[in-house]
Every structure is written in C-alpha cells, then in structure tokens.
C-alpha cells in the first residue's frame, strides 16, 4: 500500500518535472491484425511505444486509441502499456459508415504537445458497412466491376531477417505448420494470419521502417498542455457538481468498482476537481462514485472523457464496386456466425498491470452456505461473524470490528472500518442492513489497517453477493453508478479450434500481439484452417533488439 502511495506521489513529481523541463518523447506505432474490416468486426491491436531514440518508453502506463475519419471519432479504447508494449482489442460499431479511417494511439504526455506530431505511427483502416448505406463524407469512389481489378493492393517490402519456410498449400479443416525463422537479433513482433479476399485496402502510409525514420525529427515537441503523466495507470479526472464543504480537507471522493475490491481509489480533491490515481482498471465495468462530507447531499461526481478526438488528417478514398459483393457477403456471414463459433471464449490473456491494494493482504472468508442461513444481515453478524457488530446512533448505522492480538488475550474494538459490498464502498449502511441476506454468498474480513489515498482504515468488511447485486441498491443522491470503459485486457487469439455449431468461416485464424523470436530461433506455429477455400496472408511486424524494423509477409492457399 505504501508503494502505491509513493508511486502516486512520484507520478505527480515526474509530471511537474517533465512538463516544466525538456519533455521526453513518446511515439506509438499501431499494428493490427488486418487492414480491411466490416462494421461489427473486432480489431486486434499491438502497440509499440517508443522514445525519440527508438527505445521502448518507460513512462506512460496507458494509451488511448481512437478510430477517426473526416467526420470525427467513431470508436475509442484504452490500451495498457507495460515496458513500452501494449495489446488489446475493440469492436467497430455496426453504425460506422463505409469509408477509410485512421486508427491513432496517444498517451497523456502526447496531449500536452502542440499539434499532432505523434500521429506518425497511426494505421489506415478500410471499413465497409454491410447493413447500411451510410458513407464517410466525400470518402468513397465508385468504380465499375471492370475497372475494379485494376486497383492493386500496394506491395509492402520486407525488412529485417525473418524468413518463412512452410507448405504453400493446405486442406480445409486441417492444421498447417507455419515455420518462422529469425536470422537476425531478438525480435518482438505482432503475428497475424488472416483470409485475404479481393477487398482491396486503401493505400497504407505507415510502416515500422518509416516510423523509426521519423522519430528523430520530432525529438523537441512544443509543450503547451499540463495533463499529468500517467506513470502508474490512467488518471481519472472528474468534476464535482454541487456545493463543497467549507473545509476542502473534509471532502472525500471515492471511486470503487463492482466485483473488484482492489479497484478502490480515494480522489485527490482541489476545489471542484478531483483526480483518481489508478493502476489501470481493466474491462468495462460499473463504477460507483461518492462525495462525502458535503454541505449538500445533491453533489455528484461527473467523470471527464480522456479522449481528445484528433483530426484524421488526409485520408484516401475507399474504392466501392459491385465486384466486391460476394466478398462482403462472405464477411457478413462470417461475422454473423462468430457467436456460434464461440470465438470470444478462445482468447488468451497476457500479463498486465494489477491493482495491488489488497494483493498482499490476508483475509478470512465466511462462505455463508457453510452455515445456517439467516434472512437478515444483523442475524448473520450475530450468529456467524461476531467480530463484526452494528450500532445505530442518531438514526444512522455504524459498524465495528473486534481485533485480537492473536492469542485472544487482548481485544480491541475499532470503529474506522471500510465497509463494501461486491467491492463498492458503502458509507451509508442502511442499504446493507435492509439487504436480503439470503442473496449474500461470502463475507471477507481484512483485519489489518490500510491507507488508501490520504484516508486510513483499521479494517475491511466486504459483503459479496451471489450475482453482483450491489449496483441494484438504492444509493443516496450523492452517489452515482456509471458505466465505465476500462483498459482493454491484453489478449491474443492463438488459433484454438472453434467448438461451436455451424461452418468454420473465420476470417482471422491467428493473432499474437507480442511474439518473441530469439536470435537464430526457428519457431513452428500450428494454424487451423477454416471450412472454406481461399488465400491466406501471414504478417510479422515489429522491432528487433538492435532497434531495426521487422516486417515480413507470406501467403498460402487453402484448397
């Protein structure tokens, strides 16, 4: 816990130092599983966050990803960064118009720069909407079927020392062994295998080689903003609406996440602004924000968006033709069958930052089904958990804990407890005491003291419900329950064979956002082919240990 406090302080000190002096440079190169999608597709991403010398940046712990066109931003995601590398995914909304988009990634440090010199590592994506006729404004060029074949996909030159050595033919519904040989130094790359149909992507204006050449020219950005550096994780900024207490030191703002007791943060309050220094909250969650000790209970917390909706810059037009009909129909069918194939269950989770608030804290769990069940929380405490007791003073409930020295020879009653339900802070215990205890599954008791932000607690009691019922409670007016878009879990699809019903129409066969190839290593990767014939492209893209770019492509046919 002390480490968490020190890291938060260090983040502010570093932010002030770096913004006040010559700021370091962070530039993100975005690699994706493909270049052409339809609306509703999942986009799998791999991020390389480098400094001006082409080394992995040690600073930011989170990046922001936006899919933008000339009409504005249409999709957003947060990607955690660990030692300069990040991975995640997001789904393209089904309402996205047909057109060409730019996928950009930036950090809080980048938002302080004048202009957008950090966009050099962006990725151009071509997206077709197969369920609506909407198009990006002035972003589509229609050609005849006869003219369409003359529009060629631009060839991408290989860089680095990656070689493929495998069969160029495979049967449907079988395994093909893809052999990757690294003849150069250690390489950290993304690796993708996907169906390459005749939907031709827009001309791509980025490559790892070009990105690395650009870095030195942006080594001295002009700093005009003051957004703090996110050294440990996302800093959630919010505004408090309502009248604050006369003494700001008495105002405490909490942020907690349903189902995750470690995602508890005490905000740093200044006037009507508050910042929560997180270690990254992963996944899309319901969060609960509460402002305590106010002059008026109507005060609430409003979370501010960290996204900046950058300009897309100059983009090419999407070429649209009736010749694309069959390929678009096949893509639409594959997307429709995705749920039946249960692809979402086949992903692999990679290492990511964790909130360490309670990681090293021991606790005693009372699994209530192991005891005689009681309908009221008061009866549960009296009959099963006597170390907890509740009292009512001036119409309000309070909870105490009896702490012993281990031998039961000395007992101390402590009042300053942190009471939670499913990881959500309950400052008003009326809701807990009125709760149906038959819906409780466990009660976790932490007897050691912790400090969260500037607030000390002498212990924790977390009441765990069977189905995360906490968000269904009726909270006081100074509490807000919000849908929160957290940081995307770093995931890969490592070619697991789908087990669902229906034909295997997968467009993406394999995605590894961070494949490590040792110097001189030859790695064999097995890829399961789908139930339809076609041409499939394998792409390796990334960075070698000596700072040189790596890019290699290879195709094979499924018959």
- The model's pLDDT over 430-464, given as tens digits with 9 standing for 90+, comes to 889 999 999 999 999 998 888 887 788 888 999 99
Beta-bridged to residue 452, according to DSSP, are 455
- Pinpoint the alpha helices (H) of 384-535: 430-433
Alpha-carbon Rg for the chain in angstroms: 27
How far apart, in whole angstroms, are the C-alpha atoms of residue 466 and residue 365? 14
Q: How many residues does the chain have?
A: 559
How much is the pTM? 0.89
- Tens-of-pLDDT digits for all 559 residues of the chain? 334 444 444 444 444 444 444 568 999 999 999 999 999 999 999 999 999 899 999 999 999 999 999 999 999 999 999 999 999 999 999 999 999 999 999 999 999 999 999 999 999 999 999 999 999 999 999 999 998 887 666 667 788 899 998 889 999 999 999 999 999 999 999 999 999 999 999 988 789 999 999 998 888 889 999 999 999 999 999 988 776 555 555 567 889 988 877 788 888 777 788 899 998 999 998 899 888 755 445 567 889 999 999 999 999 999 999 999 999 999 999 999 887 776 667 778 777 766 566 666 788 999 999 999 999 999 999 999 999 999 888 888 999 998 776 555 556 777 888 999 999 999 889 889 999 999 999 999 998 888 887 788 888 999 999 988 887 888 887 788 889 999 999 999 998 887 777 789 999 999 999 999 999 999 999 999 999 999 999 999 999 999 999 999 999 999 9
Q: What is the DSSP letter of 244?
A: P
Q: Helix H segments across 384-508?
A: 430-433
Phi, psi for 17 (deg, rounded to 5): -70, -50
Strand positions, DSSP E, 447-500: 450-452, 455-457, 459-465, 479-485, 487-488, 491-492
Residues of each domain in the chain carrying CATH 2.170.130.10: 364-467
pLDDT digits (tens, 9 = 90+) for 525-556: 999 999 999 999 999 999 999 999 999 999 99
* H or E stretch at 441: strand 440-446
What is the token pair recorded at 142?
Answer: 């229609």
What is the homologous superfamily of the domain 364-467 according to CATH?
A: TonB-dependent receptor, plug domain (2.170.130.10)
d(CA 428, CA 440): 18
């Amino acid at each position: 816990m002390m480490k968490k406090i020190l890291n938060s302080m260090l983040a502010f000190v570093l932010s002030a130092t770096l913004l006040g002096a010559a700021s370091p440079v962070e530039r993100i190169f975005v690699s994706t599983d493909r270049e052409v999608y339809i609306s509703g597709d999942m986009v799998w991403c791999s991020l390389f966050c480098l400094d001006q010398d082409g080394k992995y940046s040690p600073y930011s712990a989170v990046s922001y990803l936006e899919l933008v066109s000339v009409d504005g931003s249409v999709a957003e995601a947060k990607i955690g960064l660990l030692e300069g590398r990040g991975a995640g995914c997001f789904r393209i909304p089904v309402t996205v118009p047909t057109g060409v988009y730019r996928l950009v990634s930036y950090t809080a440090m980048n938002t302080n720069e004048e202009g957008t010199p950090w966009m050099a590592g962006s990725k151009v994506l071509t997206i077709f909407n197969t369920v609506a006729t909407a198009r990006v404004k002035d972003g589509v060029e229609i050609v005849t079927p006869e003219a369409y074949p003359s529009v060629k996909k631009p060839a991408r030159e290989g860089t680095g020392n990656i070689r493929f050595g495998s069969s160029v033919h495979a049967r449907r519904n079988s395994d093909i062994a893809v052999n990757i040989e690294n003849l150069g130094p250690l390489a950290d790359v993304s690796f993708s295998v996907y169906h390459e149909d005749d939907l031709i992507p827009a001309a791509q204006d980025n490559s790892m080689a070009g990105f690395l050449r650009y870095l030195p020219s942006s080594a001295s950005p002009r700093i005009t903003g003051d957004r703090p550096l996110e050294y440990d994780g996302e800093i959630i900024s919010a505004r408090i609406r309502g009248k604050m207490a006369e003494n700001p030191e008495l105002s405490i703002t909490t942020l907690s996440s349903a189902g995750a007791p470690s995602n508890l943060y005490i905000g740093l309050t200044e006037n009507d602004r508050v910042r929560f220094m997180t270690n990254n909250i992963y996944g899309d969650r319901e969060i609960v924000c509460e402002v305590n000790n106010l002059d008026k209970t109507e005060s609430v917390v409003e979370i501010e968006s960290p996204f900046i909706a950058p300009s897309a810059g100059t983009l090419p037009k999407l070429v649209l033709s009736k010749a694309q009909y069959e390929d678009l129909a096949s893509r639409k069918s594959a997307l429709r069958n995705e749920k039946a194939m249960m692809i979402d269950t086949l992903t692999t989770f990679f290492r990511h930052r964790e909130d360490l608030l309670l990681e090293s804290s021991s606790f005693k769990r009372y699994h209530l089904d192991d005891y005689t069940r009681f309908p009221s929380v008061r009866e549960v405490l009296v009959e099963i958990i006597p170390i907890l007791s509740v009292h009512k003073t001036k119409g309000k409930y309070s909870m105490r804990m009896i702490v012993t020295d281990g031998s039961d020879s000395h007992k101390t009653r402590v009042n300053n407890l942190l009471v939670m339900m499913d990881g959500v802070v309950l400052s008003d215990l009326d809701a807990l005491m009125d709760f149906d205890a038959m819906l409780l599954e466990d009660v976790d008791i932490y007897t050691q003291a912790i400090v969260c932000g500037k607030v000390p607690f002498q212990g924790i009691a977390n009441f765990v419900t069977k189905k995360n019922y906490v968000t269904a409670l009726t909270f006081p007016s100074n509490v807000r329950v919000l849908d929160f878009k957290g940081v995307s879990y770093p995931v890969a699809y490592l070619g697991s064979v789908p087990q669902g019903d229906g034909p295997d129409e997968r467009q993406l066969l394999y995605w590894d956002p961070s494949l490590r190839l040792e110097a001189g290593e030859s790695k064999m990767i097995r890829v399961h082919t789908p139930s339809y014939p076609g041409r499939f492209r394998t792409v390796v893209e990334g960075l070698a240990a000596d700072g040189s770019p790596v890019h290699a492509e290879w195709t094979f046919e499924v018959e």
